[in-house]
Structure 1
Amino acid sequence: MADQTGAPLSKATSSAASDPKMKQPVDSQQVQVKTEPQTGEVVDIEAGFLTKTRIWIQKVGAEESGIERIPEDARIKQSPWSLFLVFFSANCCTATLALGYLGPAAFGLGWWDSFLCILFFNLLGSLFPAAVARFGNRTGLRTMAVPRYSFGWWPTKVLAVLNIITQIGWGIVNDLSGTSILYDVGDGKLPSAVCVVIIGLIAIIVAALGYKYIHIYERYSWIFMCICFAILAGFGAKEFVNLPMGTGQTELSAVLGFGTVIFGFEIAWVPIAADYNAYMEEHTSDWAVFGCAYGGLFVGQFFIEILGAAVGTLILSPDVRFQEAYDRAGMGGLMGAIFAGHGDGVRGLGKLVEAILSLSTAAVIVCGIYSIGLSAQLISEKALRVPRIIWSLLGGTIFLVCAIAGRDHLEAVMTNFLNMCAYYLTPFTTVILVEHFVWHRGWDYNLEAWNDRNQLPFGIAASISAIIGTVIALMCMSQTWWIGPIALAIGGSEAGTDISWMLALGVTTVLYIPLRYWELRKWGR
C-alpha cells in the first residue's frame, strides 16, 4: 500500500506494462531483433531492454507509471494538503527571491508599489495553475495529456516539445541562480562546475525516482528554507530601504511590466500543475484541491518575493558596501553583505544560510525534470513504450551538461529566452480552461479517448486561437530581445508598456468559443 505522499499501490503497475498495445511493436519495421546462434530463436531486443528496465525500476522503488492515465483502482488516499506542500516548497527558493528583487532593481519601483504588485498579481496569477491542477485527480491524466481534448493529437505533440525545452531551460536558469550563491559562499574556491553538479544531481535523482519521492522531498525541504529566509529577513530588516513610490505614466509602465513578470512566473506552472495529484482519489473535493494548490502557489511566491523586493532596495542604500557587493556578485553579494559587519560568527552563520538557500532551487528543478519524462512520452508511440524514468534521466543529463557548459554566460541569455517563451502560455491556458468550463463543466470527458487520435478533436479551433493569441502577446510584449509595436506605442518608458497577457487572454477567448462551436458542428469532436 502507499502512504499519503502519493506512492502507487503495489497493484498499480504501469498501464503500458498491462496494455498489449504498449508492449508489442506497432509493425515489423519498428522491431529490433537478433537471432540466437545456438537455438535460432528470434529475440525482440527492444522488449528485452524495456523489461529489464522495468525490473530495475521496481528494484530501486521508483515510479513505474508515466503519461498513461492512472485508473481509479490505482488511486490512493492522498491528502490535498500534499499538493499545497509541493507548490509551496518548490516556490520557497532563491529563484522566487530573485523575482521579487526585480521590482526595485530592474523596474525602479519603490517598496510599497513592489509590495502591491506582488500581492495582487500573485492573487490573480495563482488562479490559473490551481484551476488546471484539478485535472490530475479528476481525470487521472498528467497535465500535458489534457490539451488533447482541445488541441487534438498533432498540435499537442508540438506543445509537449515546447514544454520539454522550457523545463530544461528553467532547470538551467534555476541551477545557475543557486550556483552563483554557492560559488560566492566558497569565496571562489569551489569551482562553479562543481556547484552546478551538486544542485543538479539532487534534482535529477529525486525526479527520476518519481511521484512518491517528489512528495517526500517537497514535504520537508521547505522547512530548512523558511528558517534561512527568516534569518536573512531578520538581519536585513534594519538595512532595507523604504524607497518612495513613483507616479505618472512611467510608474504605470513599470507596474504593468513587473506585474507581467509575476503573472508569467505563476502561469509557467500550468504545463505541470496536474502532475502531482494524478494518483489522488478521483472524487476528492474540487475546492480542496483548488484551495491547496492555490494556497501553495500564492503563499510560496508572495512571501519570498516581498523579501526579494526588500533585498532589492539595498542597491539604493546610503551604505556604499551594498552597492559594491551588488557590483561584485549581484543578488548573492547583497545577501552576503547583509551578514557582514556583525563579526565573524554572524558572517559564518550567513555563509551557512547562503549555502542552504543555494540548494533551495533543487526543489523547483525536481518538478521540471520529472515532467520532462511525461511530456517526452507524448511525442510518439515509441516514446510511450520507453519508461518515464529513462526520459527524465535523459532530460536531466541534457540540462546538467548545458548548465555546466554555459555556467559563465548562459543564465542571462536563457532568462530572456524563457521570458519570451512564456508568452505562449496565456493562450495555451485560456484554451484549456475555456474548453473545460464551456463544454466539460461536469467532467464529462471521454477518458478512454485520451490516446486515440480518431476520437480526439482535430485541434483547428485551439491552434488558430492560440497562435493568434500568441502573436498578439508578442506584439504587446516588452523584453530585452524584443519590444512589440503595441507595447512601444503605449509608451510610458523607452521600452513601452507590456500588456501582453491581458490582450492575449481576451483575444484567445473571443476567438476560441465560436471556432470551437464550428469545429464541433462540422466534425462532432
Structure 2
Amino acid sequence: MKKVSNPFGHDSIFPLNRNEQKMGLFATFALWLAANFVITTIMTGMMFIPDISIKDAMLAIILGSVIGAVPLALTGMIGTRTGLPTMVITRAAFGQKGFILPTLLNTLILIGWSWIQAYMAGLSLNYAIHFTFGYSNINLFVILTELLVVIITIFGHHGVEKIENVVSTAMLILSVAVFYKLFTTYDVASLVNIKLNENPAITPIVAFDIVIATAFSWMSSVCDFNRYCKNDKTGIIGTLTGYILASLIAFGLGAIVSGFSILKGMEQTYDPTVLLSRYGFGLVAAIVVFFSVLSTNVMALYSATMSFINVYSKMNFWKAAVGIGALCTLGGLLKEALMTNFYNFILLIATLFIPAFAIVLVDFFIVKKGHYDPIEIVTNKRKTYEYQKGINIMAYVTYILAAVFAYYFTYVNPLAIGATVLTFFVSGGIYVVLMALSKQMYISTSDQKDISVQK
C-alpha cells in the first residue's frame, strides 16, 4: 500500500539546497511590505501625534525606516548566503551552546508579538462581524484568528509566502484610498499647525528610536524567510524596498489619521480600525487590517517555531507550531493588558536584540570576513564554532555590557540623541575589540558554493 505523504511543512534548521532558494524579487518585496504594513505599526504612528508635530513625525519615520532597514537587509543576506534560519546563525557568533539563551529569548519575544497581533486581529474581525451582523465576541474572534494562523503556519514557508502576496496588494490599495480621502476632505495646513501637548511623553528622537526599534524587532526573523531568496541582490532589494515602503505608509498613516481625528474632536483609541471607520472605511478597513495582522502573526508564529526547533531539533515543525500556537491563543485573551504595555514592549525588544544582532552582523562581515560554513554550524562536526566549551565568552560579555548600556540610556537616563543607533555601534565596536584581543579574528577559506546536505 502506497504511503500517503504528510501535507504539512517539514521546514528544518538545516541549510537549504540552492534549488530550494526560489523566492524572487516581487515575492520578497511583498513579504516585507505585508510584514510591516500592519495595525501595530499604524498604531505606533498614532502615538506620535500630538506629542510631536507632523513634520517631526514624518522626519523621524523617514530616517528611522531607511536606517533601520539597512541592518535588517544585511542580516537577511546572511540567511540567503548560508540557507540557514536566523537563530541557527547565532550559533556561529555565540557558540554551539551559547546560542540557546538568545534563541529562547527570541521565542518568548515572538510569542509576545503573537499575543498582541492575535488580539488586534480579533478586534478587527469583531468589528467587521458586528458591523455586518450585529454580533460581538472578541474572545471568540481572537481564538478563531489564532486558529487560522496555526492552520496557515503548519504548511511551512510556502503557506507564509502565498498569503503575503495577497495581503500586501490589498493594503496598498487601502492606503491609497485612505490618503486620497484624507487629503481631499480635510485641511492639511491645520494638521501641520496642530496644537502639541505641553508635556509630551514622546519627543522626535524617541519617535526615531521607536521606528528603528521596529526594524530591529524583525531582525530575529529575517533569515527565516530570506534564506529562500534566489540570491543576495534579490533579498537586499526586496527587503529594503518592501520594508521601507511599508514603514513609511503605516507609520505615516497612523500619524495622519490620529492628527485629523484630534482636529475633528474624535475620541482617541489604540484601534486604528475605529478611527478609519469614521472616515468611511469601517468594514473594508476592518477586513483588510484583519488579513494584514493575520499575515504578520503567521510570520511571528513561523519564526517562533523555527527558534524553538533550533533548541529542540528533534521536534517536528508542524507539531511545534501547533503547541506554540495554542500558547499564543491564550496570551491573546489578555486583551487590554497587552496594549497597556505595548510601548515598553517595543523598547524592550530594542534593548534585547540590538546588541545581539549587532554582534551577529559584525561577526559575519568583519570577524569571519563574510563567510560561515552552514553545514558545520548545524552539525558541529569539526568544532569550528565551539569557542570556550560551546560558549563564545566574548559575545556574552559584549551582549551584557551593551544591554546594560541600552537599558540605562533608554529607561534610566535617556539620551537626547536616542540610544538605538548608538547601542548598535557600541555593541559592534566592543565585540570587534574583544575578539581581536582574544585572538579569535580569522578568515575562513572553506568553499561554501555547494551547501547541499542530506536532510
Name the TM-score class by shorter chain.
0.7 to 0.9
How far is the alpha carbon of 1:338 from its aligned partner?
Answer: 1.6
CA gap of 1:306–1:98, structure 2 versus 1, over 3 A, is: same
Does residue 78 of structure 1 match 2:10? Answer: no
Using the TM superposition, give the Cα deviation of residue 184 of structure 1 relative to its aligned residue in structure 2, in angstroms: 3.8
Relative contact order (C-alpha < 8 Å, sep 6+): which is higher?
2
Instruction: Report 1:416-455 matches (<5 A).
Output: 416-445=344-373, 447-452=375-380, 454-455=383-384
Contact 2:11 2:156 in 1 (8 A): no
Amino acid at match of 1:215: E
2:272 paired residue number: 331
Instruction: Decide whether aligned partners of structure 1 residues 137 and 522 sit closer, same or farther in structure 2, where only a CA change above 3 A counts.
Output: closer
Aligned 1:170-189 pairs, distance under 5 A: 170-185=113-128, 186=130, 189=135
Q: Which has the larger radius of gyration?
A: 1
- For 1:368, which of 295, 300, 309 is the aligned residue? 300
**AA partner of residue 316 (structure 2):** P
Query: Residue 213 and residue 439 in structure 1: after superposition, are their counterparts in 2 closer, same or farther (change >3 A)?
Result: same
- The aligned runs of 1:85-234 (5 Å cut-off) are 85-105=30-50, 108-185=51-128, 186=130, 189-234=135-180
CA contact (8 A) 2:367 2:441 kept: no
Alignment partners' CA distance in 2, 1:246 and 1:150: 49
Shift of 1:332: 3.4
Q: Which of these residues, 297, 305, 316, is aligned with residue 251 of structure 2?
A: 305
Gaps of 5+ in 1: 1-54, 340-348, 478-482, 491-496
Structure 2 CA distance, aligned partners of 1:97 and 1:67? 33
Change (3 A) 1:199 1:444: closer
Q: 2:221 aligns with which of 269, 272, 286?
A: 272
Which of 424, 430, 452 is 1:511 aligned to?
Answer: 430
**CA displacement, residues 193-216 of structure 1 (integer Å, 9 cap, x when unaligned):** 122123222222111111111111
**CA contact 2:213–2:346 (8 Å) conserved in 1:** no
Q: Distance in 2 between matches of 1:96 and 1:521?
A: 40
CA distance in 2, matches of 1:449, 1:291: 27
1:193/1:498 CA distance change after superposition, 3 Å: farther
User: Of the candidates 392, 404, 407, which is equivalent to residue 474 of structure 1?
Assistant: 407
Give 1:411's match in structure 2, choosing from 336, 339, 342. Answer: 339
Tell me the distance in 2 between the aligned counterparts of 1:82 and 1:229: 20
Q: Using the alignment, how far apart are the partners of 1:306 and 1:99 within structure 2?
A: 10
Q: Quick one: which of 59, 70, 85 aligns to 2:6?
A: 59
Say which SS state the counterpart of residue 450 (structure 1) adopts.
helix
Gap change, CA 1:524 and 1:357, over 3 Å in 2: closer
Q: Identify the residue that residue 289 of structure 2 maps to in structure 1.
A: 357
* 1:2-54 deviation digits (Å, cap 9, x = unpaired): xxxxxxxxxxxxxxxxxxxxxxxxxxxxxxxxxxxxxxxxxxxxxxxxxxxxx
Aligned 8 A contact 1:144 1:375 in 2: yes
- Give the corresponding residue for 2:451: none
Q: d(CA) in 1 for partners of 2:369 and 2:250?
A: 35
**Identity within the alignment, %:** 17
Contact 1:431 1:508 (C-alpha < 8 Å) held by counterparts: yes
User: SS of 1:155's equivalent?
Assistant: coil
Partner residue of 1:19?
none
Quote the offset at 1:76 in angstroms.
Answer: 4.2
Shift, 1:145, TM fit: 0.8
Q: Is the 8 A contact 1:112 1:245 kept in 2?
A: no
Q: CA deviation at 1:442?
A: 4.1
SS in 2 for 1:70: coil
For 2:143 and 2:221, the matched residues in 1 are separated by 24
Q: Give me the whole-angstrom Cα distance separating, in 2, the residues matched to 1:198 and 1:123.
A: 36
- RMSD over equivalenced CA pairs, Å: 2.8
What stretches of structure 2 of length at least 5 have no aligned partner?
A: 445-455
Q: C-alpha distance in 1, partners of 2:65/2:57?
A: 12
